[in-house]
Amino acid sequence: MQTSSRKAIVFGATGVVGRELVSQLNELGVTVYAVVRRPSDIFSESVHQIVIANQRELSHSSIPFAGSDVYVAIGTTKAKTPNKDVYFGIDYGIPVAVATKASEEKARSLHVVSAMGANPDSFIFYNATKGKMERDVASAFNEAYFYRPSLIMGERDESRGGEALAKSIFKVVNAILPKKMKGVYPQQIAQKMIRNTGDLSDQHVFTSDEFHEK
């Protein structure tokens, strides 16, 4: 894909998938805007940081949505955010706010990391949150793309005890699991999202088995 004139906006840029998106896009020569809650020193000088503490309120932001490819890799955990209302405000509220603004400002495309099992009618809070997010993001931005990995492998800055145990198990059984259930690395998710940006597909939901494709 031609990248010299492309603009990309990454929400969740300091997270494990967001960092990969910023790094890979930057290497491709895309102009990258990382939306962060506070300035970070993890990015190269060529990455433009846009600091917005409350990313559910974008009405007066200076984010250059028009013509940009927008990536949303927002996600918290029960351990980090035990209050369900706050959790919902992050995992649902931010992507929906981004989708609404991206639509209003005529973004080129919108790509959102979701989760395997996303279902607005699920009795599991996490799956229901992701499902409602997908439903309302798609309502706000009709041509949105969703990426549903199973367990995301890789190292994070914060400690997630249960997730660390799950990863250790996945490393052992990953080879025999069906592709749809295999753990997925951040590099694979970022690569899939960026490839889709170059050649926008008629398919709008991608599952873990498709992240393993070469």
pLDDT of residue 90: 95
d(CA 175, CA 23): 28
Within 37-177, strands assigned E span 48-51, 69-72, 109-113, 145-148
Measured at the CA of 121, the angle between CA 120 and CA 122, to 5 degrees, comes to: 95
Rounded to whole angstroms, what are the CA distances from 108 to 90, 131, 152, 178, 179? 24, 23, 27, 34, 30
By the 8 A CB rule, do 186 and 156 touch? Answer: no
pLDDT along the chain (214 residues), means of 10: 80 96 97 96 95 93 96 88 93 97 97 96 96 98 94 63 55 57 86 91 90 75
Structural domains of the chain, with CATH: 7-209 (3.40.50.720)
pLDDT of residue 183: 76
Measured at the CA of 45, the angle between CA 41 and CA 50, to 5 degrees, comes to: 70
Q: What is the pTM of this model?
A: 0.88
* Helix locations, 52-149, DSSP H: 84-88, 94-104, 125-140
Q: Which residues contact 178 (CB under 8 A, 6 or more apart)?
A: 209
pLDDT per position as a tens digit, 86-139: 999 999 999 999 999 999 999 999 999 999 999 999 999 999 999 999 999 999
Residue type, 90: I
By the 8 A CB rule, do 113 and 189 touch? Answer: yes
By the 8 A CB rule, do 116 and 208 touch? Answer: yes
pLDDT of residue 76: 83
By the 8 A CB rule, do 128 and 121 touch? Answer: yes
